[in-house]
């Protein structure tokens, strides 16, 4: 370098030539997840090439045997390469010579990579769906055990109306059922084969795209070759479904953290920790981490959308950075789903404390207003009667009952005389009013479809069980199809090796 400290052109070129750019391009280390997928895609492609007479039997047998050897050696034994796909091809050529290069006939890394991502991602989608089903089963089981456990319900974090632990937990089961639907939907659009699209413009070879799709257990092909090689919307759909699932889990986790802080539920020691300095504390740490997983998923979705936004057709190297975001998100949220299920399954609910809190803040106020409305008083007028009583019992100046005690019959009667100009018993019996003020009776009265009353909850439980059985069948059908395809592909390979 000259005395003035400036680099010469030669020094600068030496410093920036060679290794750094090649390393930046390589995804080999990150591709370990796709190792088995690439082997399967290679095998299916070679079997098809041999069946179509594009590669002869001897070369096909040699290549398939080399792929078995590569699999046995493992990802760690692969030679250096830009990615796992190129490294496997190099490893095959090292074993059988130049004829190993016939493996890449009539395809590009573009359609090969897209096929491998779909092949692996569908397994992860089924794993996420299975974790979601298990969580729903746990929620349903605990809900059944606590169908009659009255608890406070909240809106805006204020005491609102009494409900039950069973009703509360089934609300999350319902949300997770929709999350499972989204995962299954994403699976359906992921499980299509792009193989045979080549770089993007198809191939002049007489390939059988439907055959490779069949051998790999795909439900069909992505027909347009340009779309097949470049499309990554299935990653967006998957990550969006996972983000929705994570959002549901985050809500459940937040509720458990809040209920635990009030002493209404206690998490098992396996799902909590003690403070490092305050020995009296038991922290719901796992639920806080479950809550945070929504950030992982939404960040992955945003990253994907940003990468894909405005990409021209067909293939662009930007896509190398796309699929890791989907895989990271689905890993984080699947684990969080399992942890959330475990926390619910092992938690202890304090029925006595919940029952005592269920009527706090005049939480049965709506029930009293409903009772008056059912006896012919216009609901808005009934609402005013109860609001006046709530205000006198210590509620807000606007008639709200944020922190007031429940007024007794006499207070409600006085409010009725003021608002209606007549005693309360003109419209309702005292016994009915006192029943409406009782949290347990209030819950029992709410027997409309989807409500917390025992009969309504029993009906809901039956439908939940039916939904779980249907989704378990959906999951098993897809798993069986993949296992059957893998078995048949192995048979085809074994016949040739």
Q: What is the pLDDT of residues 352-390, one digit of tens each?
A: 999 999 988 888 888 888 888 989 889 999 899 889 988
Q: Per DSSP, what are the bridge partners of residue 221?
A: 193
CA–CA separation, 177 vs 464, rounded Å?
9
Residue 341 pLDDT > 90: yes
- pLDDT bucket at 12, cuts 50 / 70 / 90: low
CA–CA separation, 92 vs 89, rounded Å?
5
Catalytic residue numbers, as ranges: 156, 275
Structure tokens at 396: 């807000």
3-state helix, strand and coil shares in percent for the chain, rounded to the nearest 5: 70, 5, 25
How many distinct helices (H) and strands (E) make up the chain?
A: 19, 6
- C-alpha to C-alpha distances, 148 to 107, 171, 252, nearest whole angstrom: 62, 15, 20
Structure tokens at 223: 């027909």
Q: Per DSSP, what are the bridge partners of residue 159?
A: 154
CA–CA separation, 254 vs 293, rounded Å?
12
Task: Give 441-496 pLDDT, tens digit per residue.
Answer: 999 989 999 999 999 999 999 999 999 999 999 999 999 999 999 999 999 999 99
| pLDDT for the residue numbered 398 | 46
Structure tokens at 327: 């895989």
| pLDDT for the residue numbered 16 | 52
**What is the rounded average pLDDT of the residues 148-173?**
93
CA–CA separation, 251 vs 260, rounded Å?
14
Task: Give 112-132 pLDDT, tens digit per residue.
Answer: 999 999 999 999 999 999 999
**200 contacts 225 by C-beta, under 8 angstroms:** yes
- Cα first-last separation, the chain: 60
- State the chain's mean pLDDT as an integer: 91
**338 contacts 289 by C-beta, under 8 angstroms:** no
DSSP state of 426: G
Q: Is the pTM of this model over 0.95?
A: no
Residue 459 has φ and ψ, to the nearest 5°, of -60, -40
Q: In 3D, which of 142, 140, 177, 147 has the Cα closest to residue 163?
A: 147
Structure tokens at 221: 């092909």
**Residue indicated by tokens 């250096």:** 80
Catalogue the long-range contacts made by 95-100 (C-beta closer than 8 Å, 24 or more residues apart): 95/66, 95/69, 95/70, 96/62, 96/63, 96/65, 96/66, 99/59, 99/62, 99/63, 100/62, 100/63, 100/66
Of the ranges 224-233, 247-256, 401-410, which one carries the lowest mean pLDDT score?
401-410
* Structural domains for the chain: 13-105 (1.10.275.10), 110-356+462-496 (1.20.200.10), 365-437 (no CATH)
Residue 83 pLDDT > 90: no
| pLDDT for the residue numbered 2 | 54
Q: In 3D, which of 126, 134, 120, 192 has the Cα closest to residue 476?
A: 126
């Amino acid at each position: 370098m000259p005395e003035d400290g400036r680099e010469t052109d030669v020094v600068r070129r030496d410093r920036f030539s060679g290794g750094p750019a090649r390393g930046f391009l390589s995804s080999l280390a990150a591709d370990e997840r796709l190792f088995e997928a690439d082997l399967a895609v290679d095998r299916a492609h070679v079997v098809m090439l041999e069946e179509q007479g594009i590669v002869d039997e001897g070369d096909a047998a040699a290549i398939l045997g080399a792929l078995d050897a590569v699999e046995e050696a493992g990802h760690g034994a692969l030679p250096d390469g830009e990615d796992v796909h190129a490294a496997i091809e190099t490893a095959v050529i090292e074993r059988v010579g130049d004829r190993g290069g016939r493996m890449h006939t009539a395809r590009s890394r573009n359609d090969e990579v897209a096929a491998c991502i779909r092949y692996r991602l569908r397994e992860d989608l089924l794993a996420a769906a299975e974790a979601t089903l298990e969580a729903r089963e746990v929620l349903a089981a605990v809900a059944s055990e606590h169908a009659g456990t009255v608890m406070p319900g909240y809106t805006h974090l204020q005491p609102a109306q009494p409900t039950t632990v069973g009703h509360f937990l089934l609300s999350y089961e319902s949300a997770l059922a929709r999350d499972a639907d989204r995962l299954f939907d994403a699976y359906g659009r992921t499980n299509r084969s792009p193989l045979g699209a080549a770089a993007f413009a198809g191939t002049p070879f007489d390939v059988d795209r439907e055959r490779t799709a069949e051998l790999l257990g795909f439900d069909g092909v992505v027909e347009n070759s340009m779309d097949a090689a470049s499309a990554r919307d299935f990653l967006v759909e998957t990550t969006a479904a996972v983000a929705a699932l994570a959002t549901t889990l985050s809500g459940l986790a937040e509720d458990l953290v809040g209920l635990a802080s009030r002493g209404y539920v206690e998490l098992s020691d396996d799902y909590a920790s003690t403070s490092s300095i305050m020995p009296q504390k038991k922290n719901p740490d796992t639920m806080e981490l479950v809550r945070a997983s929504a950030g992982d998923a939404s960040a992955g979705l945003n990253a994907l959308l940003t990468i894909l936004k405005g990409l021209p057709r067909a293939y662009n190297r930007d896509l190398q950075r796309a699929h890791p975001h989907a895989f990271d998100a689905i890993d984080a949220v699947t684990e969080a789903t399992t942890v959330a299920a475990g926390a619910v399954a092992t938690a202890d609910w304090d029925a006595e404390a919940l029952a005592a809190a269920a009527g706090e803040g005049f939480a049965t106020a709506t029930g009293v207003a409903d009772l008056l409305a059912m006896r012919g008083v216009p609901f808005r007028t009934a609402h005013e009667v109860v609001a006046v009583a709530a205000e006198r019992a210590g509620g807000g100046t606007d008639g709200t009952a944020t922190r007031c005690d429940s007024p007794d019959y006499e207070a409600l009667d006085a409010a009725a005389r003021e608002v209606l100009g007549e005693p309360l018993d003109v419209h309702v019996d005292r016994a009915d009013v006192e029943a409406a003020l009782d949290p347990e009776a209030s819950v029992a009265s709410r027997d409309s479809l989807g409500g917390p009353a025992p009969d309504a909850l029993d009906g809901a439980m039956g439908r939940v069980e039916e939904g779980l059985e249907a989704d378990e069948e959906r999951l098993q059908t897809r798993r069986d199809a993949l296992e059957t395809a893998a078995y048949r592909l192995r048979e085809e390979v074994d016949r040739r090796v």
